[in-house]
Amino acid sequence: MEVFFYYLIKNIMENYELEQANFNLPHDVIQLPSKGIFYKSKKKSIKVGYLTAQDENLLANFDPKVSLNESIVLPLLQRKIYEKDIKAEELTDGDVEAILLFLRNTSFGPEYTISVRDPKTDNNFSTIILLDELNYTKPKVQPNENGTYSLTLPMSKAQIEIKMMTLGDRVNLEKDIRNYPANLIAPVVTMRLSKQIISVNGKTDRGDIETFIESMPIADSKFIRRFSLENEPKLDLRKEVIAPSGEKAMVDIAFGVEFFRPFISI
């Protein structure tokens, strides 16, 4: 028993010393698009370290069998966020995107080459997007002091409380989908709703919530997704570009493999 506690305390002290060392590494202060409204600390900005040669080990070992969130995004942010009272798992999408942009821009520059379809000729062409010129969307509704929202669903008229999806939620959702029986179709919509809905008509029991979700009208489900999209502060990832034909084309900037190409093609 004494040996167990010795190694437990030793491990805690080593992690603490590593944290303290990280806080002294070169870093910058990143303004969060959410302004901290979803977090207990309410921090509007956090310290983020620059990518180092040591980080290349992580970035070069991308596992295509799992999601980018699990194999790169989460472990990378766990290494580069130099804060004690906010964890990478707690971050919402918009704040994750802002940090990833900072890491990419300070390591490889803001130029991002993407392939776009010319709406007139139907041919693909390459264009460069400057990631440091992206703007943030403005939410229509602010959350309460707990960082959650109280909603009345349009069809069922149920009173629900929801939260925004976090990076940890997305990683767990992706794991659940990957581990779902191969001969069955994963209920992605209801699985996602289960991550977001905190209470239904004042009830917080997970069994009651799951039962409600299973019988939720499609209109209510779409209402929650649309509300989440419209009210989470995040980057506006739609850009207008001019195609070779002279036509305008709208592109959606995705945080997929191409975004991480400079990292994983070392």
3-state SS, residue 104:
helix
- C-alpha 199/C-alpha 197 separation (Å) is 6
Q: Kindly state the percentage of the chain with pLDDT values over 70.
A: 89
Confidence bin at 157 (pLDDT 50/70/90)? very high
What confidence score (pLDDT) does residue 136 get? 84
**Do 39 and 86 contact (CB within 8 A), yes or no?**
yes
Query: Which residue from 43, 118, 131, 31 is spatially nearest to 85, judged by alpha carbons?
Result: 43
Lowest average pLDDT, out of 58-72, 105-119, 251-265, goes to 251-265
- Across the range 116-128, mean pLDDT stands at 90
Mean pLDDT across 33-46 = 93
Nearest-angstrom CA–CA distance, 216 and 202: 16
Q: Where are the domains of the chain?
A: 2-136+235-264, 149-231
pLDDT at 55: 84
Residue 34 pLDDT more than 70?
yes
Give the model's pLDDT for residue 16. Answer: 40
- At 22 the pLDDT is 57
Taking the C-alpha atoms of residue 26 and residue 64, their distance in angstroms, rounded to an integer, is 31
Q: Taking the alpha carbons of 244, 250, 254, 260 in that order, is the dihedral positive or negative?
A: positive
Can you give the pLDDT at residue 24?
64
Stretch 225-243: mean pLDDT, rounded? 90
pLDDT at 26: 80
Residue 149 pLDDT exceeds 60: yes
Distance CA 102, CA 96 (A): 10
φ, ψ (nearest 5 deg) of residue 226? -65, -40
DSSP state of 117: E
pLDDT of 28 > 70? The answer is yes
Global pTM?
0.83
| pLDDT value, residue 41 | 92
- What is the DSSP secondary-structure string of 125-138? EEEEEEGGGPPBP-
Quick one: angle between helices 188-196 and 167-178, nearest 10? 150
176-204: per-residue pLDDT in tens? 999 999 888 999 999 999 999 999 999 99
